[in-house]
A and B are shown apart, each in its own frame.
Chain A
Amino acid sequence: MSEKKQSLAYIIGASSVGTLIEWYDFYIFGSLATVIATKFFPPDNPTAAFLSTLATFAAGFVVRPFGALFFGRLGDLIGRKYTFMVTLILMGGATFLIGCIPSYETIGFMAPILVLLLRFLQGLALGGEYGGAATYVAEHSPAEKRGFWTSWIQTTATIGLFVSLLVIMVTRNTLGTEAFNDWGWRVPFWVSLVMVGVSFIIRRNMHESPLFAKAKAEGKTSANPLKESFGNKYNFKFVLLALFGATMGQGVVWYTGQFYALSFLQKICNVEDNQVNVIIALGLLLGTPFFVIFASLSDKIGRKGIMLAGMLLAIICYRPIFEKIYQTTNLKNKQEIVANTKVDVKRELAPKSEVDSLITTTTTKEYTDGTKYKEVKKVTILADASKEAPKPDVKKVVTINNSDRNTLVLMVFVLLLFVTMAYGPIAAFLVEMFPTRIRYSSMSLPYHIGNGVFGGLMPAIATYLATRAKDMNDAAEKAGEAIVNTQPYLEGLWYPIILAGVSFVIGLLYIKEDKNAND
């Protein structure tokens, strides 16, 4: 391999590792949302705590565009390299500190406040990281292979999610579920400090982007990149096109195929947590090479067609795929072995009470295909009957068989193919849309609004839509009326379908591809 190619491989590797670590840092929070909910938010309402955590997760996403503005401006003024060194340190520090915060039981409301603050810092850091890394790599790459080289940056988000799931699985299996839920969940956050340290040392030796260095030497950098990007009509209309014609659709496809698939399996299908992590991890492992494949293909046949094809396939296939996922785990489709059904009822004093009772009913069922079901229902009976008893706490866990697991892995893999089509070429696409002098600012903002705002809110909005549909059905049943929605669990998919549909039409009609326009 020639010296120049070795240098390019080192540059790609160094940039990608740092970005991967930042994605890992960001995603361990989301991957542990269920556990974190019980630690940092008032524990008496798990649903509220869960939604609050999702909102915190969303807050981390919503802040990303602000990070894009702040660090994008910095990157266009002083350079790409130093800016994404700062983002790396900021992300690593915030992540490590999240792992150190005492629980709500120990420090009260300071706990969720500190979590929120550090989550904001994570969002700011990520907002600055991706645009810098993608711009940095693209500005080193030969034009005819820009898709291929930037695709390695595109793999980092999914690999970061995969690594986060892997670290969580290894930690949970090593410590045991109880210890993990107690304190072991902090370990994945602490691990980040080591990873960030290694990446910092690698990045410290990198040179500035040659295109930026050249622009700076020739006095062609922008004095006010934000004003030039967003205050100038010519550039701003491309920022809008990049957002509504590309990143909005790509963002919802990305989050539906990965994070919503994860929460759908956990919260709607009730599949056991470890199994869900394995299913998602296997799907990601199989699908990740396609980021590089589709991005390389985009170097030959164009970026727009592949991105839009990914969105269109997602629009058409989402409902059938998630229906398949739901029915694969639906116990109504399985044959129960009635003789093996066990019901265990335990009555004891309710926690922190000397008069109230807690009745715990544990039901276990087995099915002919090897599926197992466990339901733990906790009902509090108050000694004072005039007071309103808390809602029963019901936890359902379905342990699926290997055949069903393989079916679910295949479904997740197909979802990920849509992701790789929409996301693989987009770094090169965004870089090529804007000139060097305002590139970091101009591409970062639509990317992080599309992914951070539209995509990041996807799990929360979709969960809300599905819950609302179920509540409407329950209300109709109580009133003796026909149910409104026969598939309430699929209602959440309307959000990504509509947004990807709008992006598809705008992208198809308005985006004109010219790979060399801004070289």
Chain B
Amino acid sequence: MNAIKRILGIVWIGIGLYAGYYLFINQALPMWGKGGTDLVPAIIYTFILAPIIAGGMSILGYYALSGEYDEK
């Protein structure tokens, strides 16, 4: 089980980075370009959602990979 947890750490890092990329590049950037009411979701995606998902999942994945969640 500890091995599965560690291996999945790579998956969480991947999900976090991809989700952050998708939210910023595919969603937020076009909204920045449009302006108007699109600025509100652009701000939320860029400064709140993308960093939390990318940063949080990546750190969780790193901890998993380095055995921090292993059962002793």
Contact = CB atoms under 8 A, between A and B. Distances in A.
A240 B4 CA distance: 18
A55 interface: yes
**Interface band, chain A:** 20 to 34
Interface in A20-60: 48, 51-52, 55-56, 58-59
Contacts of B41: 55, 58, 460, 464
A62 interface: yes
Q: Please give me the 8 A-B residue pairs with the lowest Cβ-Cβ distance, nearest first.
A: A55-B40, A240-B60, A48-B37, A510-B69, A237-B63, A52-B37, A237-B68, A62-B48
Nearest to B39: A55
B56 A240 contact: yes
Given A502-B15, A509-B8, A512-B71, A243 B40 contact: no
Where chain B touches its partner, the secondary structure class is: helix
B13 interface: no
B52 A453 contact: yes
A241 B69 contact: yes
Given A233-B68, A457-B44, 8 more contacts: A48-B37, A55-B41, A56-B40, A58-B40, A236-B59, A240-B60, A457-B49, A509-B8
B64 interface: yes
Contact of B60 (A59, A506, A512): A506
Nearest to B40: A55
A426 interface: no
Nearest to A116: B40
B64 A55 contact: no
Interface of A: 48, 51-52, 55-56, 58-59, 62, 233, 236-237, 240-241, 243-244, 449, 453, 457, 460, 464, 502, 505-506, 509-510, 512
A281 to B, nearest CB: 30
Given A237-B69, A509-B4, A55 B60 contact: no
30 contacts: A48-B36, A48-B37, A52-B37, A55-B37, A55-B41, A55-B44, A58-B40, A62-B44, A236-B59, A237-B63, A237-B68, A237-B69, A240-B59, A240-B60, A241-B60, A241-B69, A243-B56, A244-B57, A244-B60, A453-B48, A453-B49, A453-B52, A457-B49, A460-B41, A464-B41, A502-B15, A509-B4, A509-B5, A510-B5, A512-B71
B56 to A, nearest CB: 6
A460 B49 CA distance: 13
B2 to A, nearest CB: 10
Contacts of B48: 62, 453
Nearest to B57: A244
A52 B40 contact: yes
Contact of A59 (B8, B12, B40, B64): B40
Given A62-B48, A453-B49, A240 B40 contact: no
B17 to A, nearest CB: 14
**Interface band, chain B:** 20 to 34
Nearest to A245: B60
Contacts of A457: 44, 49
Nearest to B64: A510
Contacts of B36: 48
Interface in B1-19: 1, 4-5, 8, 12, 15
A236 B56 CA distance: 10
A449 B68 CA distance: 23
Interface in B45-72: 48-49, 52, 56-57, 59-60, 63-64, 68-69, 71
B12 A506 contact: yes
Q: In the complex, which of the residues B8, B36, B41, B64 has the most CB atoms of chain A within 10 Å of its own CB atom?
A: B41
B14 to A, nearest CB: 12
B42 to A, nearest CB: 10
Contacts of B49: 453, 457
Q: In the complex, which of the residues A240, A449, A464 has the most CB atoms of chain B within 10 Å of its own CB atom?
A: A240
A241 to B, nearest CB: 7
